[in-house]
């Protein structure tokens, strides 16, 4: 039976390249000259730590981070900006986790959307991904179109297509 997997993974090397590009751009920008700006990628925990002097500078760094990441092929939804920035003396710090893998509640939303679509497919949650199987490849392609159209708030990839 044909099947494929729905995942949400970020390549560590691509992420590292994107963060290095952000660092270079921020260093070269006139409005950041002489200001405290620190951008660090924690590769083990998949987190980006940002330190700047003000909320406005933080917003500018985040804008640069999203645009440069998208140019590297990392969608903006891969970053979780929900955590609030906090003041530490004169410095504003923000920790931005990078979403890697599909969380259980997101996987349940995806499976529910697939089952509600009344397509003749089976979807099951396997660790941090969703496996979809069907009798026809056309049904699988319909599921991919459904997931691309659905707004799940995370970046999805469709891998391991087996006919």
Residue 160: Cβ-neighbour burial (10 angstroms; 0-12, 13-18, 19+): exposed
Q: Which domains can be identified in the chain, with CATH numbers?
A: 3-8+101-162 (3.30.70.860), 12-97 (3.30.70.990)
Dihedral pair phi/psi, residue 50, rounded to 5°: -120, 135
pLDDT of amino acid 88: 83
pLDDT tens digit sequence for 12-54: 999 999 999 999 999 888 888 888 899 999 999 899 999 999 8
pLDDT of amino acid 69: 92
Q: What is the phi-psi region of residue 5: left when phi exceeds 0, alpha when psi lies from -120 to 50, beta otherwise?
A: beta
* 156, β-bridge pairs: none
pLDDT tens digit sequence for 144-154: 999 888 888 88
pLDDT of amino acid 63: 93
Q: Which residues contact 47 (CB under 8 A, 6 or more apart)?
A: 41, 95, 96, 97, 98
Question: Is the pLDDT reported for residue 163 higher than 80?
Answer: no
pLDDT tens digit sequence for 75-116: 888 898 888 988 888 899 999 999 888 889 989 999 999 999
């Amino acid at each position: 039976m044909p099947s494929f997997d729905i995942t949400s993974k970020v390549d560590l090397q691509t992420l590292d390249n994107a963060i290095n590009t952000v660092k270079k751009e921020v260093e070269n920008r006139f409005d950041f000259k002489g200001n405290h700006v620190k951008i660090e990628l924690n590769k083990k925990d998949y987190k980006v730590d940002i330190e700047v002097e003000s909320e406005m500078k933080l917003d500018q760094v985040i804008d640069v981070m999203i645009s440069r990441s998208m140019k590297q092929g990392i969608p903006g939804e891969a970053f979780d900006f929900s955590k609030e920035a906090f003041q530490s003396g004169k410095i504003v710090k923000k920790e931005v986790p990078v979403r890697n893998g599909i969380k259980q509640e997101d996987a349940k939303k995806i499976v529910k959307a697939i089952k509600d679509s009344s397509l003749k497919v089976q979807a099951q949650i396997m660790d941090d991904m969703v496996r979809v199987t069907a009798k026809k490849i056309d049904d699988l392609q319909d599921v991919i179109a459904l997931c691309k159209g659905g707004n799940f708030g995370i970046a999805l990839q469709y891998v391991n297509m087996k006919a």
